[in-house]
Amino acid sequence: MKIKFWGARGSIATPEPENMHYGGNTSCVEIRTAAGEVLIIDAGTGIRKLGLSLLQDPHFSRSKKGTIFLSHFHWDHIQGFPFFVPAFIPGYHFKFYGQFKMGGRLEESLRGQMEHAYFPVRLSDMQSTLEFHEILEETVYVGDTIVTSRYLNHPQGCFGYRIEDQDGIVVYCSDTEHFPNTLDKKVLELAEGADILIYDAQYTEEEYLSKVGWGHSTWNEGVKICREAGVKQLILFHHDPTHNDKFIAKLEKEAQSEFPNTIAASRELELNLQNKRSLSPPSAVELKTHVYLPGELEERGDILIIRAPSSLSEFSSASYREKVLEQITPRFNHIVVDLEKLKNLDSAALGTLAAFMEKVQKIQAKYYLYRISDFNREILEISRFTHFLTILDDLSILQKTS
Ligand SMILES: [Zn+2]
Ligand SMILES: [Zn+2]
């Protein structure tokens, strides 16, 4: 999965020389999925140059299609679309997704900004096929890529999106305001276990004090989300129009001192996400994660791999147990619990392992534990678990037999 930032500025474009490193264009992110699908998140002024770049791309010129996810309809997220050249060319096909609102806001927002009072060309003059899908909080598929929407805390509403394919998970949460003394559950849900979180870091904590209710957040809150949700990399996004390069660089450094794997999105920054999953060579794995859980579930043929979350209390919670038990179904012959992140099992966690074992026996599958710490090995032996299951050191043995 490749991610490219065509616009990272919030609120309004800022094409001044002192902003050229982080860039002046407003929100637009391109995502090329592992399968080569073109996904575009938001149509701020950055989409103009993205359109020109797409027309140079042989793959896109052949497929002639893209999917555009709009977070919401504020100017800085739609304003570039009238300058998106591919939309004018017959034969191209763009599918839009955005929030369902009474009165068809998705298409109307794009049509309205191109009415003759504001713009010489109408939306209906665009010769490509434009398709509009209004969605609620749900999951849609673009080929194999799974995109999930959740509401964010922003005036007039906004969507955050979680995009996952076999390369990994990237989450876009721009235009969102945090809540006092608690983390936003929707943001946490989207961000759970993500590789990359693109987060609204418009204000400093001092600035925020006078902007409560404006719908934006700070890098400090982004760091809290990353820690809680186990996100690997934080991208600061939606830079304030009054913050120049020097200032954003300072914020980036401050954020890095708290969460080292942080970058402020800069002009045409490119990220390449290719999860090097240690379970087997990435090219051979077909990963599908449909269920939101702490940790992860992975299917590979008749093998179900349950990757335990790093938190003991999560692993032992009734809700986690129930959700995983639902997934242990007779279509699997091998159930593997990967304990890499959970190095110190306690009695409650053993209860979860026992509950899984019961279900595994019911469906007559085989039960394995994988990546066990020395501490866990000892606990499992003392508690006689090892009589009933196999400890695996190498997952490929399983793949050969199945
Ligand atoms: Zn915005
Ligand atoms: Zn907004």
- The whole-number pLDDT of residue 296 equals 80
- The whole-number pLDDT of residue 103 equals 61
268 with 287, same domain: the answer is no
50 with 110, same domain: the answer is yes
Q: Which residues surround ligand 1, an ion (CB under 5 A)?
A: 10, 76, 175
335 with 386, same domain: the answer is yes
Q: Which residues surround ligand 2, an ion (CB under 5 A)?
A: 74, 175
Task: Note the pTM of the prediction, 2 decimals.
Answer: 0.70
Residue stretches of the chain with pLDDT short of 50: 277-292
If we measure between CA atoms, which residue out of 391, 388, 371, 364 comes closest to residue 302?
A: 364
211 with 309, same domain: the answer is no
246 with 314, same domain: the answer is no
Residue 220 Cα to ligand 1 midpoint, Å, equals: 19
- The whole-number pLDDT of residue 39 equals 98
Dig out the tokens for 250 from the structure.
């300072």
Range of the domain at 247: 2-272
216 with 286, same domain: the answer is no
Residue 217 Cα to ligand 1 midpoint, Å, equals: 11
Listed residues 246, 272, 298: the one ending a domain: 272
- Measured at the CA of 215, the angle between CA 153 and CA 269, to 5 degrees, comes to 100
Residue 10 Cα to ligand 1 midpoint, Å, equals: 5
Would 238 be classed as within a structural domain?
yes
- The whole-number pLDDT of residue 94 equals 97
Burial of 328 (0-12, 13-18, 19+ CB in 10 A): buried
User: Could you read off the pLDDT of 198-218 as tens digits, one per residue?
Assistant: 999 999 999 999 999 999 999
- The whole-number pLDDT of residue 295 equals 66
* Residue 289 belongs to domain with CATH number: 3.30.750.24
Q: Are 31 and 170 in contact (CB under 8 A)?
A: yes
Listed residues 224, 241, 272: the one ending a domain: 272
Q: How many structural domains is the chain composed of?
A: 2
User: Could you read off the pLDDT of 386-395 as tens digits, one per residue?
Assistant: 888 899 988 8
Residue 41 Cα to ligand 2 midpoint, Å, equals: 14
332 with 243, same domain: the answer is no
Residue 99 Cα to ligand 1 midpoint, Å, equals: 15
237 with 307, same domain: the answer is no
